[in-house]
Structure 1
Amino acid sequence: MWIAVALTAIVSVVVLWVAPRLQPTTGTLVVVAAGRTATTLPSSTLMLRQGDGSWVTVGSVAGSVPAAPDQTQLIASALPVGVYDHVRLGDDTYAVTVDITPGRVAPLLLGIDGGRLVAGAVYAGNDDVNLGLGELSGKFVAMPAFTLVDQAGGPFSLKAIAGKDVVIAAFHTTCHETCPLYTALYLQLAKRVPATVQLVEVTTDPATDTPAVLSQYAKGVGASWTFATGTAAQVASFWKPFGVDLATGDTHTSTLALVDRHGYIRLVYRGVPKVGSDIPPSLVTLLSAQGLAQLASGGDGWGAPDVLQALTTIVGADQSPPTGGGKAPAFTLTSTVGANMSLADFAGKPLVINFWATYCPPCKAEMPLLKTAVPRAGARLLLINEGESSAVASGFLAQIGVDQPSLLDPNLSVGRQYGLSALPMTIFIKPDGTIDRRQIGQLGDRVLEAELSILVTQ
């Protein structure tokens, strides 16, 4: 009997040893195509680029391509397991992440127009394929092709922003009302947007705003993003889909638009942004009396938190931080009363960390609720201000009646560690130091009560 048991054990070990090696080393890529209108794709070679820079040939594809939301399958091919970062169809190459996993099917949608890839219209994964079919079918308005130049005199076109989510604002350097406020808004966004987001300010006064003028303006305000200009005809054509005319002085349509990584216009803001006190002196001095009044009034009520929240929605769940799981990153920061505090100081107890800023209306709305509900539930509350001074943060807390100090994250490093993409963000941490959940956006009392109930019973 012991021989049978031993043989069984040996067989089990062999099976366990062999099983991982029997896992398939390939996955299946299914490539489909759709167009904005029905079209034809001539015979073209489809390739994917691996992480090491080498290219893998998927195969030759061709045929009739229907108008979305209809689609046609071009090819199904077994590919080596791995993450691929570019797609090439004929002479067109675009960045996209294609994850081939063992024994699974990975869909890839190609948007085709005139026998070629539509700029940016490459969608990988089920969620993005469904999004792509909606975009190609006209659910969203496509950004027309354009030709401009940036502040360095280099080309700036639709192809330059393909694969990126883009925030575009209308401005010109001789505007002394809303334009400096838009630049202040961009300074706030630049600290918080992920690397996949590109910030661009496009002039409405190309006669004045040459590349040299834009370059000088960017240096003067400490801007690291793209400024663009062109001929009068080029700039007028660029702004036409947004209803913005060429203008000089202080008369122009104040506009900010969000364009997704596939080249579709997803959201347009009009009017004056709310930038609060987070505006450098170099921009304040550019404001006219009317501009100062707009700054003091809070503009039209929308600002960086609203844009960041919209970007979070547009970027999608695949690029958002996970809702929970993993060890909470360690940190040590200084508080508004000058004391140093670290995450380790809160070990062993349920903890709620709230990332906030004074210019964020949802932060102001939810903070009194957090201040009362969190301790009442038996957890500890830790406030972390993002990017502002001790005086600004403590003055704000006193104004809204919160008598608790806040930690200061002046360079946003801790926020980035925790996956901050919009404010407010609340992190629920278990007593063992692992993250139970992330909440981006304002918490309501019922949601907070439910999250706290789960947190304190673990």
Structure 2
Amino acid sequence: MSSKMGRLGAEDPSTGPRRSSRPRILWIAAAVVAILAVVALWAAPRLQPATGTLVVVAAGRSASSLTASTLMLQRGDGSWVTAGSISGNVPPAPDQRQLIALPFPAASYDHIRFRGDVERVSVTVTAGQVEPLLLGIDAGNLIPGAVYAGNDEVNLGLGELAGKFVPMPSFDLVDHSSRAFNSSTTAGKDVVIAAFHTTCHETCPLYTALFFQLAKRVPATVTLAEVTTDPDVDTPAVLLDYRNRLGATWELATGTREQVASFWKTFGVDLATGDTHTSTLALLDRHGYIRLVYRGAPSIGNDIPPSLVTSLSAAGLRQLASGGDGWGAPDVLQSLLTIAGPEQSPQPAGGHAPGFKLASTGGGTVSLAALAGEPLVINFWRGDCPPCRAEMPLLQQRVGPQSKVQLVLINWGESAEAARSFLSRVGINQGSLLDSDLAVGRAYGVAALPTTVFVRSDGTIERRQVGELDERVLAAELSNLVSQ
């Protein structure tokens, strides 16, 4: 039995069938091919030149059209890369029309060529990112100097083409220490400039008081400068003495009569002595554009050094008592925020809500400590902010006893009268706190309006919303607050 089983269970290698090695070879070959295919798929994109997306848009000072023409960009090494043929109708700025969007080699480019015209512009195409390029077109041709690259520059270009932004002409003055104060020394900074002279006793001391207020609050990226309208009297030595006596920390500038007259001509301000000059404050952005101009006397309140009060004439004292022409430091600071962006990064969610104690439009004061233990929706707003107006009825309807969350309105920089008037006009039946000097808003990282901060009952910040709220977002945030 055992021998039979042995014969059945064993195979004589000399007589049994041979196994072919071909299937194993084919399997190995297939595996190698598969591996090579995977490697090829992985390597192919990496062997190709990196590309970003170049989006070319056009706008003009008036409507026009483009016939088909080739656009080229020049690399730093001098070689030209063709973007393609562009054509079509061109709308007046600030509207724009996209002419072409295409993958483009990632590199830095320093010139464009279009219809035989060559314009210098810094274009940086980054792999995997979009780089916009704006062409300013007039009567079908490229406007000299009107080529803008990058989101920031394109937005500025649209404003300039629309006539909203006017470039500040080059100027060449000196400061109180006879150092250069000119277009080059102010480049890359936002600048607040006021007209003044040291022998003025009506509005000039009010402007200087305004600068004391601004100097406490503006970031280092902002330059403050009072520029004289009386260069014959206000030499650098006179300005330095004036600055030292007051304890001012900002620039005081002067120059020759021709230099100062040229500087102020842009703003319609003539050289003047005594109390007769045109009271003017202007904001220049870091790109050299005039963004805002204020006229008249600023509202100073009671925050004015005694030495400036005693220097005021009877007319100046009346301006001080009356609140000037209704604008002041909060308005200038808000404008700077719009131009320059946030002064600081917002406090991250999860941190404790900064404390405050603010006056209310209904009288008295309210502190955050008095609201402890309740979930809060803190809304920063102004009456001249359209999205603030749009979301107010929703806030009043959804936030309150019915939601078990308290609504705290904080007006950013307006007077109590202005805030009350606005709330009455839009039918809001609760008062607002008044962040007159913007300090609370800055503590909460407010950089744009409206800003809404959702605060848990333990006093920590759940979330911030910048911009207008919609009903869906508000409902979700209220649900989060009451469930914790």
Amino acid at match of 2:404: G
Q: 1:418 aligns with which of 437, 441, 444?
A: 444
Pick one of 224, 229, 239 that aligns with 1:214.
239
- 1:176-230 Cα offsets, whole Å, 9 max, x none, are 1111111222222333334443222111111222223223333443433222110
1:152 maps to 2:177? yes
> Match for residue 171 of structure 1?
196
Instruction: Structure 1: give runs of 5+ residues left out of the alignment.
Output: 1-6, 37-44, 48-56, 63-67, 90-95, 112-116, 388-392
Once the 2 structures are TM-superposed, how far is the Cα of residue 60 of structure 1 from its aligned partner?
A: 6.2
Distance 1:136 1:408, change over 3 A: closer
1:247 to 272, 277, 283: 272
Q: Structure 1's 428 and 239: CA in aligned 2 closer, same or farther, altered over 3 A? A: same
Contact 1:30–1:77 (8 Å) recurs in 2: no
Q: Given that residues 329 and 417 in structure 1 are in contact (C-alpha distance below 8 angstroms), is that contact kept between their aligned partners in structure 2?
A: no
Residues 394-433 of structure 1: pairs in structure 2 closer than 5 A: 412=439, 415-421=441-447, 426-431=451-456, 433=461
Q: Deviations over 1:139-164 (max 9, x none)?
A: 53321111101122111112222333
| 1:229 aligned residue | 254
Q: Residue 291 of structure 1 aligns with which residue?
A: 316
Shift of 1:380: 4.0
1:272 is matched with 297
**Change over 3 Å in CA distance of 1:145–1:342 after alignment to 2:** same
Alpha-carbon distance in structure 1 between the residues aligned to 2:304 and 2:122 = 37
**Do 1:24 and 1:102's aligned partners in 2 also have CA atoms closer than 8 Å?**
no
Q: Structure 1 vs Structure 2: percent identity of aligned residues?
A: 55
SS in 2 for 1:160: coil
Contact in 1 for aligned 2:261/2:271 (Cα 8 Å): yes
Match of 1:65 in 2: none
Q: What's the CA shift for 1:272?
A: 0.9
| 1:435-455 deviation line (CA, Å, top 9, x unaligned) | 23246xxx9xxx799986664
Q: TM-score, normalised by structure 2?
A: 0.58
2:478 aligned with 1:456, yes or no?
yes
Paired residues of 1:29 and 1:79 also in contact (CA < 8 A): no
Equivalent position to 2:223, from 187, 194, 198: 198
The answer to whether residue 293 in structure 2 is matched with residue 257 in structure 1 is no
**Distance in 2 between residues matched to 1:58 and 1:346, nearest whole Å:** 64
Report SS of the residue matched to 1:159.
coil
Give the total of aligned pairs.
Answer: 375
Q: Secondary structure at the match of 2:461?
A: coil
Residue of structure 2 equivalent to 1:304:
329
Q: 1:158 to 1:293 in 2, by over 3 A?
A: same
The corresponding residue for 2:404 is 378
Find the partner of 1:141 among 166, 169, 175. Answer: 166
- Offset of residue 240 of structure 1: 0.9
- Asked whether the 8 Å contact 1:350–1:455 carries over to 2, the reply is no
Question: What letter corresponds to residue 180 of structure 2 in structure 1?
Answer: P
> What is the CA–CA distance in structure 2 between the aligned matches of 1:126 and 1:277, rounded to whole Å?
42
Q: In the aligned structure 2, how far is the partner of 1:352 from the partner of 1:341? A: 12
Q: Secondary structure at the match of 1:437?
A: strand
224 and 434 in structure 1: CA distance in 2 versus 1, 3 angstrom threshold: farther
Taking a change above 3 Å as real, the CA distance of residues 141 and 262 of structure 1, as seen in their structure-2 partners, is same
Max Rg structure: 2
Residues 189 and 285 in structure 2, CA contact (< 8 A), matched pair in contact too = yes
Question: SS at 1:434's partner residue?
Answer: strand
**In 2, are the aligned partners of 1:172 and 1:205 still within 8 Å (CA)?**
yes
State the match for 2:464 in structure 1.
436
CA separation in 1, counterparts of 2:209 and 2:473? 35
The residue type paired with residue 276 of structure 1 is: G
Q: Take 2:398 and 2:306, find their aligned partners in 1: how far apart are those partners?
A: 39
- Report if aligned partners of 1:323, 1:437 keep a CA contact under 8 Å in 2: no
Tell me, in whole angstroms, the C-alpha distance in 2 between the residues paired with 1:213 and 1:102: 55
Give the whole-Å Cα distance in 1 for the aligned partners of 2:244 and 2:288. 29
Q: Return the alpha-carbon distance in structure 2 between the equivalents of residues 31 and 326 of structure 1.
A: 37
- Matched AA of 1:192: R
Secondary structure of 1:302 counterpart:
coil
Match of 2:22 in 1: none
Deviations 1:3-32 (A, max 9, x none): xxxx9xxx9xx99xx89x969976467899
C-alpha deviation, 1:341, in angstroms: 6.8
Distance 1:415 1:122 in 2: 37
- Return closer, same or farther for 1:103/1:385 CA change in 2, 3 Å cut-off: closer
C-alpha spacing 1:373/1:246, structure 2 compared with 1 (3 Å): farther
For the residue of structure 1 that corresponds to 2:131, the secondary structure is strand
Partner of 2:375: 350
C-alpha root-mean-square deviation of aligned residues, in Å? 5.7
Match of 1:188 in 2: 213
Q: Matched residues in 1 for 2:53 and 2:187: separation? A: 26
Q: Alpha carbons of 1:448 and 1:147: their partners in 2 closer, same or farther (altered >3 Å)?
A: same
Q: C-alpha deviations, 1:241-297, integer Å up to 9, x for none?
A: 211111112111001122233222232211111121222323222222221110110
CA distance in 1 between counterparts of 2:189 and 2:58 reads: 21
Q: Is the 8 A contact 2:59 2:158 kept in 1?
A: yes
CA distance in 2, matches of 1:227, 1:154: 11
Q: Which runs of 5+ in 2 are unaligned?
A: 1-30, 62-72, 82-91, 112-120, 137-143, 359-363, 421-429
